[in-house]
Amino acid sequence: MDARDLADALPDGVVVADGEGRVRLISALAARMLDVAPDDAVGRPLADVLALQATDGRSWTELNRPYGVLPTVTGVPEQSWLLPDGTEVLVTARLHRSSLRDPVEKVAITLRSGRGRARLDRERSDLVATVAHELRSPLTGVKGFVQALLNRWDKLNDEQKKLMLTTVSSDSDRLSRLIAELLDVARIDTGRLQLYPRPSDATTLVSRVVDSVRSATARTISLHAPEDHLEVWADPDKFTQVVTNLVENAVRHGDGDVNVTLETTTSELPGEVPCVRLTVDDEGEGIAVELRKRVFTKFWKSGARGGSGLGLYIVGGLTKAHGGSVTIDDAPGGGARIVVSWPAEDWRPE
């Protein structure tokens, strides 16, 4: 296999020019992008073959001057350029010299379709739109009630003022939770999640969560736990966050009663590690088998019952950071069952 065949096998387009600035190799993909015939391009000046333009009309060779840069420059970072047909392409280059005292002997350029970056830009736009929507709703409530209090303070009685301030406090808490969720997502994505694990009483922590969520809903939430307290190795705040997300998710997206079960097990984790199994069942429609892997991705939503779409992503990230696991199954009542197996000893990944 010669150099041309190797270049054609690469996923990106390749153009190689010699020290005189003439093309010595061009792959079939690069030739199609640049709208030239491969055989006709070889031997021509690089500036003629590499017909790329910036938005201001300058060419790639004019802007980057690959043969006139400082001796310490070894390449050109990825840049966005326009092909002759107007589509975006991402271009990088490597400059080859025998030594810092010698001129550039070879310029190797790669061209990659810009569709991937366009898709990433769309995903970022969707992220911004989702976050803006989730922030706007409680913020609108806060602004509206504060404005009403300022404009009509003397006309409102104490009960009305208390109701408005209570609503403002609730919306402020919602904003704080959303911001905390976004920060946790960023930390999970970048591997900068800080944990302070220690032996913790799972029974007490779960009971507090159930009591808190139960007080804010008319739905029945039952807790089934042994009389003896069960111990897990966990950052108590993160463990509480996981349990809260699961129980609130069952209330928000499920129907009927919510059943929370806490028990010991060794069957869910490799190596027969002692762990505590937390099971949250609802009586809703459940989660289809083909969707269960997508549930733990960012901003996944099902139905029209709101939420940021971050809860289960955070559940998965925090649980795995402690060495645990999360699975989804069918609940006996026909709804969704989410099972978290949490180590009773330090089993965090290295």
87-127 confidence digits (pLDDT tens)? 888 899 999 998 888 899 999 999 988 776 656 666 666 66
Q: What is the distance between the alpha carbons of residues 186 and 188, in angstroms, rounded to a whole number?
A: 6
Residue 148 domain boundaries: 118-190
Q: Which of 113, 144, 169 is the last residue of a domain?
A: 113
3-state secondary structure of 118: helix
Residue 306 clears pLDDT 60, i.e. is over it: no
| Residue with token string 């009309």 | 57
Rounded CA separation 153/112 (Å): 62
Tell me: do 12 and 98 sit in the same domain.
yes
Cβ density class 172-185: b for 16+ within 10 Å, e for less: eebbebbeebbebb
Is 299 a domain residue? yes
CB atoms < 10 A from the CB of 322, how many? 23
Whether residues 324 and 225 share a domain: the answer is yes
Kindly state whether residues 219 and 330 are assigned to the same domain.
yes
Give me the sign of the Cα torsion angle 315, 320, 323, 325.
Answer: positive
Residue 348: inside a domain, yes or no?
A: no
Q: Are residues 215 and 335 in the same domain?
A: yes
Contact 7/14 with Cβ under 8 angstroms?
A: yes
| pLDDT 10s digits, 14-38 | 999 999 999 999 999 999 999 999 8
What's the whole-number average pLDDT of the chain? Answer: 86
CA 141/CA 151 separation, integer angstroms? 15
Query: Which CATH number does the domain housing residue 37 bear?
Result: 3.30.450.20
For the chain, the C-alpha Rg in angstroms (whole number) is 29
- Burial group, residue 290, by CB count within 10 angstroms (0-12, 13-18, 19+): exposed
Alpha carbon distance 335, 308 (integer Å): 21
Question: Could you tell me the pTM of the whole model?
Answer: 0.60
DSSP one-letter code for 321: H
Q: Is the pLDDT of residue 55 over 80?
A: no
- Give the pLDDT score at 268: 52
* pLDDT of 246 strictly over 90: yes
pLDDT in tens, 251-288: 888 788 899 999 988 655 556 778 899 999 998 888 88
Mean pLDDT for 148-158 is: 90
For residue 131, pLDDT beyond 80 = no
Mean per-residue pLDDT, 292-301: 76
